[in-house]
Chain A
Amino acid sequence: MMTRINYNNDLQALYDAVKQMGLTIETSIDQTWKALQKLDMKTAQAIIDGDEAIDQMERNIEKACLELVLTQTPVAGDWRRIASIMRMISDLERIADHCSDISEYIVQLAAKPAVELPAPMEKMFCLMKTMVKETVTAFVELSEDKARAVIGQDDLQDDYFLQVCEELCDRMQKHPEEVRQRVDQLMIAKYLERMSDHSTNLAEWVVYIVSGQLVNN
């Protein structure tokens, strides 16, 4: 006999809300890349303006989690999901914040003489985007394998970041007149590296949801 129908419905609504937050952030990441390539101020401003909606998603999900903990005393798999979601939405929100932070640099860069992006920057962006997308998929499919694969990619992102740093330092030495743009690009690269770190955190919580194993312990 099926029991706890309302509870099951509330849990399903919670998962759907997290999935929706993840998909919204994936779109925001795509838009950020387009805006960065073309130094498109309008798109960048739209990303900055859209951040509040993602913050609201975080607050709504947090409220739903707190109510479930308060009223349903979840245990076992239910508990692991709710506890993990409470941590995951914080990492998701930070990723969205960084889309907004990058967009602010895009607005600044658009007002200065254009310089090309360092070559490894696209690799950084693609890897970060894949990590976020695969993490959201791992969460939706409750796939420990996919989550662990994301965790394994973080070292590669650190390597790309060092390559970007090297290239930017080299450019700054050779073309001091581009220093302001290059510093902005360095900040953007650092945000990309941080977004991958947040993806890794997310993936670690997916592993906990599925297996009960805390990856960092």
Chain B
Amino acid sequence: MSENAILQAKDLHLYYGETEALKGIDIAIPEKKITALIGPSGCGKSTFLKTLNRMNDLVPNVRITGEALFHGKNILDKDVDVTDLRRRIGMVFQKPNPFPMSIYDNVAYGPRLHGNHSKKELDELVEKSLRGAAIWDEVKDRLKKSALGLSGGQQQRLCIARALAVQPDVLLMDEPTSALDPGSTLRIEDLMDELKKDYTVVIVTHNMQQAARISDQTAFFLLGSLIEYGPTKELFANPKNPKTEEYITGRFG
């Protein structure tokens, strides 16, 4: 395990039936940093992200070889409790997907599922999570109202609060701002900067400037391979691989 790496892939291959979607990924993701995964559509970055909390288990005919280590333990092992894994490695999706219930119940859903029914504890957890997602001030007077009445940007921050409520170590984000307007996008980017004090964030984004703005490390994927991985400022100022340069300067993809 590399120093400070919370997640590490070693020779990770993933096949959808006969199609090899990940071709031997080796990467160490540092703790309490933001790591951006970039690359053209179909390059494997979202597949890789989903592998990190076993979301690909839901896809038929998937076969995975190699290792995906979380705190040094291979999460691909059969004895891994997937529900517990997903509590520790949460996920936020491209489109905000609040449950059709109150704002409070959305956030309390996860902790209740994991057996916490104490009203006092839930009240505290809901407030802490909503504060952590920088939405508390906007919703504190309407916690019992439906989450579906929130704007898109507010819904996405609610989804982040919902992910935080189960107190994860890692947040996986799959294009979390691609459906949002520029103002909401920048609020979530500011929020991510706050989140990395306590959490490790791995984000898939098609927005090169977003990757450059917010991430500490950037990984460039192409055709199922990890082409280049390194500190974001270096990768965007002086990429080592010509393929990376072609992609980030918009010459292809």
Which residues of A approach B to under 8 Å, CB–CB?
Answer: 1-4, 7, 73-80, 211-212
Establish whether residues B251 and A4, one from each chain, have CB atoms under 8 Å apart when the complex forms.
Answer: yes
Which residues of chain A come closer than 8 Å to B245, judged between CB atoms?
76-77
Establish whether residues B251 and A75, one from each chain, have CB atoms under 8 Å apart when the complex forms.
Answer: no
Which residues of chain B come closer than 8 Å to A211, judged between CB atoms?
238
Establish whether residues A4 and B248, one from each chain, have CB atoms under 8 Å apart when the complex forms.
Answer: no
CA distance A141 to B236 in the complex (A): 23
Name the interface size band of chain B.
10 to 19
Establish whether residues B252 and A76, one from each chain, have CB atoms under 8 Å apart when the complex forms.
Answer: no
Establish whether residues A75 and B212, one from each chain, have CB atoms under 8 Å apart when the complex forms.
Answer: yes
CA distance A77 to B245 in the complex (A): 7
Establish whether residues A80 and B250, one from each chain, have CB atoms under 8 Å apart when the complex forms.
Answer: no
Establish whether residues A76 and B250, one from each chain, have CB atoms under 8 Å apart when the complex forms.
Answer: no
Return the contact of B251 from the options A3, A79, A212 (Cβ within 8 A).
A3
Q: Is B118 an interface residue (CB 8 A)?
A: no
Q: Nearest residue in B to A211 (C-beta to C-beta)?
A: B238
Q: Is B208 an interface residue (CB 8 A)?
A: yes
Shortest CB–CB separation between residue B35 and chain A, in angstroms? 18
Which residues of chain B come closer than 8 Å to A78, judged between CB atoms?
249
Establish whether residues A76 and B237, one from each chain, have CB atoms under 8 Å apart when the complex forms.
Answer: yes
CA distance A211 to B234 in the complex (A): 12
Which residues of chain A come closer than 8 Å to B251, judged between CB atoms?
2-4
Which residues of chain B come closer than 8 Å to A212, judged between CB atoms?
237-238
CA distance A80 to B233 in the complex (A): 13
Given A3-B250, A3-B251, A4-B250; A76-B236 close (CB under 8 Å): yes
Return the contact of B239 from the options A73, A74, A76 (Cβ within 8 A).
A76
